[in-house]
Structure 1
Amino acid sequence: MVNSLSRPLRNIAGLSVLVVALGFATDALAQNDSIYGNTYSPVGSVVPEQAQVVLYRALGEGREANHVYVDGELQSALMPGGYTVFCLAPGRHSLETYVGDAPQYAGKRNPSTYADFVGGKSYFLKTPAEGTAKVPAALTRVAAEQELQGLRQQTHVLNRASATVACATATKLSLRGDVLFKFGKGSYNDLTAQGHAELRKVAQQIGTQTGAIESIEVVGHADPIGNAQANQRLSLQRAESVRRVLLELGVQSDLVQASGRGSSEPVVQCNSGSRSKRIACNAPNRRVELMIRSVRGDS
Structure 2
Amino acid sequence: MLRSQRERRVRTRTTYTGEPISTAGRHLARMGEDEPPIPAAAEEQAALETRLLAKWGYTEYRAWDVPFDRSADRRRKAYPPFGFRYVVPLTNELQISVHPDLLPQFIDRVLPSVDPDSGEVWGIPGLRARVHNRYVLLARPGMDARIKIWVRRTHWDNAVARALQGLELDMVAWLTRPDEWTLEETLFIERYGHLYDYRVVGNAFISGLLRRCHALHGQVYTRYWHLWMDSVVKLEWAGGLTHRVVIDRLQDPDFGLQAALEDETWQCRCEETEGDRRNPCYWATLIDHSGLELDLRRHPIGIWEETTDSRWHDGGEG
TM-score > 0.5 by shorter chain = no
Normalising by structure 1, we get a TM-score of 0.22
Task: Report which of the two structures shows the higher radius of gyration computed on alpha carbons.
Answer: 1
Normalising by structure 2, we get a TM-score of 0.21
Higher helix share: 2
Higher strand share: 1
